[in-house]
Every structure is written in C-alpha cells, then in structure tokens.
Homo-oligomer: A and B are copies of this chain.
Amino acid sequence: MAINIGIMGYGNLGRGVECAIRQNPDMRLAAVFTRRAPQSISLQTPGVPVLPADQAQSMAGDIDVMILCGGSATDLPVQTPQLARTFHVVDSFDTHANIPAHFDAVDAAAKAGGKVGIISVGWDPGLFSLTRVIAGAILPQGQDYTFWGKGVSQGHSDAIRRVEGVLDARQYTVPVPEALERVRSGENPALTTRQKHTRECFVVAKEGADLARIEHEIKTMPNYFADYDTTVTFISQEEMARDHSGIPHGGFVVRNGVTGLDGQNTHTIETRLRLDSNPEFTSSVLVAYARAAYRLGLQGQSGCRTVLDIAPALLSPLSGEELRAHFV
C-alpha cells in the first residue's frame, strides 16, 4: 500500500515534489491542488488529477499526507493549519522568527484533527537545524557558524529588479573563502556580516539606462546590500538566459567545540550542502518527512513536529532491521 501524497501549490517546489515522489516507490501522487485554473496546468505525471485548492477537503479519504508548496509569507500561515485538520501535513515554512507561532497554530489544528504536521522542513530550516542542535548537544562548549551559498537569493534578486532601469537580475550569495577556512580549521573568529558573505549581482539593464546609477542604488540598498561587499556585473539578456537560469544553492554549518578537563582538545563538526536546484532539493526533503508524518500517524500520534522531533529512521523506506544491518 503506497502512501498517497497530495501537493498543494504547483510552482517550483510542487514540481520538485512531483519528481521526488517518482523516486520513492512507496509513494503515489494522488492529486495536485492549485488556486490557478486547473485546466491551465499540465503535470509531468500522467493520470493525476489537478483540482481547485478549495476542493482539497473533499479528498480526505484519498490522501494520506498533504505537502504544502506555497510561500511562507502568506500561503503557509493560513493553509498549513487549515489542512492539518484533515490531512497529515508537511511544509517548508522558513520565516525563522515566526516558527513558534506557526508551530502553535499547526499543533492546535493537527491535534483537533488527530493528524500529524511537520513544519519548517527543508535545508535551512531543516537539515541545517539538525546539525545545529545535534552538534550543540555534543559539543556544549563551542560556537557554530552558518554560511549560505554559493546560491541564488530570490529575495535579493527581486529587490534588484525593482531598481529603475533594470530588466532582469540574479543575485548570488557567496561565502567568503577566507572566513570559511578559518572556521573550518577550528578557529572561532568573531565575524561581521561583511566578513562572512559577499553578494554578486548580474543585471540586465534597459538600453540607455544609467549603469553607474543602477550600480550605486544596488550597492547602497539598506538591509539587502549596504552591509556587504557587493559586485554588480551588467550582462545581456542572452547571457542571463545562458549562464544564470539555474537555481543552485547550498552552504555550510560548522560547529567548533572543545573537550577535555581543560578544554585542550578541539573538534569540528561540519555539514555541507551543494545543490544544483534549491527547490528540487527542498522538495526531496519534504517527501522524506512526509513518510515520517505518515508513520507517526500510523502510531496514533497527532500534533505538530519539527525536524528536531523526528527520529532519522522514520525518513527511510527501509526497516529497522535493514538499517541496523547495513547503515548504522
């Protein structure tokens, strides 16, 4: 019996979930829900219905886990609690400051519905959260560092696109190699924002636009770029399409800590991710945690969880016996 998965929202993340399900023989895509006109959407998987978002509740008997693929700003705070009354749910809510409130909302709804919700699933929050908590518990006398990139920041790319005279833009966040190497070598340096990351901007300008003015406006933009060493490179629309169409990302979490009676020994725990496609990787994480949500549901559990509450074995299609024999 396959686990029946529903996808709520069919953007980059939803398409990624669709692909990831095909890699997991114990899962089946039952339906995709959208707020757009369903007939305007063509899935990559034949024979799967595309339905209006507001009909989700009527599919209660056909879907075990609903994977929410909307945005954290306005979609997930409403949708995840709403759907958690009817389905096990998994989302990638990533507004760090609002995680406690979102958790409480999903927890109340999931408990009311007797369902399991797992929120903030992905890589940060997600896998990087696991490393921060596990490494912090193992090396309590230490410090951790998170570096992001090299990768595309959607929010920063959008900010550049709003500058007068800009046709298109792509912004890469890049860890400063020297800072990363100092941290990875076991040092615990105090690092400013500027010392940790640089921002590389590739910009297509309108013909005749004042390039010097655009560059200045980007580099001095508060919150987004003013605190960083920022480079701006003007390119053609063709170069943008050819060289910058991917959505790569990744990063590093490093914890350095000491052990021994006098803290004489130093240790470094590091997690590194290198991702060709940020949304597809996040989707793959969501699908693995959907399996965990389903299994917790089978155990009769209910309420909200984060990745920190999920035993790793629940993510794997393999049995405990298989895991112990081959993977421990």
Task: State the A residues within 8 Å of B (CB).
Answer: 16, 19-20, 22-24, 44, 96, 99-100, 103, 120, 125, 127, 129-130, 132-134, 136-141, 184, 186, 250, 259-261, 265-277, 280-281, 283-285, 288, 291, 306-313, 315-317, 320-321, 323-325, 327-328
Contacts and interface: CB of A to CB of B under 8 A. Distances in A.
Given A259-B280, A276-B266, A24 B288 contact: no
Contacts of A327: 129, 132-133, 136, 308
Contacts of A140: 23-24, 317
B259 A281 contact: yes
A250 B276 CA distance: 27
Please list the 4 inter-chain residue pairs (A to B) with the smallest Cβ-Cβ separation, ordered nearest first: A265-B276, A137-B315, A308-B313, A259-B280
Contact of A280 (B127, B260, B308): B260
A104 B205 CA distance: 67
A186 to B, nearest CB: 7
B308 A309 contact: no
B44 A261 contact: yes
A124 B144 CA distance: 22
A321 B138 contact: no
A99 B308 contact: no
Contact of A134 (B280, B312, B328): B312
A259 B16 contact: yes
B259 A284 contact: yes
Contact of A274 (B134, B250, B267, B273): B267
Contacts of A139: 284
Contacts of A266: 276
B120 A291 contact: no
B320 A312 contact: no
A272 B138 CA distance: 15
